[in-house]
Amino acid sequence: MIREYSVADVEAIIDVWYRASVEAHSFLPDEFFAAEGKLLQDRWLPEAETNVCVVNGAIVGFLSLVGNEVGGLFVDPDHQRRGIGSALMDGARDVRPFLELSVFEENRNGLAFYTAYGFEIVARRTNEETGRPELRLRLNPA
């Protein structure tokens, strides 16, 4: 079931984010995760439109939008490859004229998901915080 985020979901969302992030971004230092987790909780969740996916009463994934920007799509590693990411992305795609996002080039699974979903690479750059290569992707309407 996909539903809107509520403040009571913060702890579960941070847990999903952390577990998925550590797996997808093993190339980043631990300090990055501590700083990003705090930003997610204090800044991004309050500002974003976030939907969560609930399976058997537990949050197993979420997607946050800020305008047309997919600020984050994270699925618990134990629940990946079951259509949760696609279902969350479908909901975002259905309410926006287009979607954009950034993904680390080294995040091979994330990049494979986004390109299979239909996103196209529109730019390459270096992430200022990490110095790692990052890709800018865009999904245009069908």
Residue 141 carries which side chain, given as an amino acid letter?
Answer: P
pLDDT score for 30: 83
Tokens, residue 126: 């270096």
pLDDT score for 142: 63
Return d(Cα 114, Cα 137) in angstroms, integer: 8
Return d(Cα 140, Cα 55) in angstroms, integer: 30
Q: How far apart are the first and last CA of the chain?
A: 25
What is the full per-residue pLDDT of the chain (142 aa) written as tens digits?
999 999 999 999 999 999 999 888 888 888 888 888 888 888 889 999 999 999 999 999 999 999 999 999 999 999 999 999 999 999 999 999 999 999 999 999 999 999 999 999 999 999 988 899 999 999 987 6
What count of other Cβ atoms lies within 10 Å of the Cβ of residue 90? 13
Is beta strand 49-55 parallel, antiparallel or unpaired with respect to 58-66?
A: antiparallel
Q: What are phi and psi of 76, to 5 degrees?
A: -50, 135
Neighbouring residues of 62: CB distance < 8 A, sequence distance ≥ 6 = 5, 9, 13, 16, 17, 50, 51, 52, 53, 72, 73, 74, 88
Asked whether 75 and 114 are in contact (CB, 8 A), the reply is no
pLDDT score for 77: 95
Angle between helices 84-93 and 108-117 (to 10 degrees): 50
Give the domains, in start order, of the chain with CATH numbers: 2-139 (3.40.630.30)
Return d(Cα 48, Cα 25) in angstroms, integer: 22
pTM over 0.75: yes
